[in-house]
Amino acid sequence: MKTALLFLLTALAEIVGCYLPYLWLRKGASMWVLLPAAAALALFAWLLSLHPTAAGRVYAAYGGIYVAVALGWLWLVDGVRPSAWDVLGVAVILVGATIIMCAPRVT
């Protein structure tokens, strides 16, 4: 549960860190949105460092969580409802992320 929450927070920090510059570049937002964007990306990098397992495996599984959170952002923030294909794709990705994180490891 701790890992799932950490993944969620990491994904939100990354999305905010990328969304705010998008607002500045494409939607005419103030340049000042770049300051919280930079802070969010710094938070994102720090949160990634808190994961206790091997970086490559964590990053691979995190990618699946990021896709799910990004589709949630699309719906909640941008007001675009994901299609059934989006939901199916996220389900497949989350199964893959779960396999990566929960597979037995030989040490």
- Cβ proximity of 40 and 20 under 8 Å: yes
Residues in the chain: 107
% the chain with pLDDT above 90: 71
% the chain with pLDDT above 70: 98
Cα separation, 74 vs 64, in Å, equals 16
Kindly list the domain boundaries of the chain, sorted by start residue.
Answer: 2-102
How does pLDDT run across 76-101, given as a tens digit for each residue?
A: 999 999 999 999 999 999 999 999 88
Model pTM score = 0.84
Mean model confidence pLDDT for the chain: 92
How does pLDDT run across 3-27, given as a tens digit for each residue?
A: 889 999 999 999 999 999 999 999 9
- Cβ proximity of 51 and 3 under 8 Å: yes
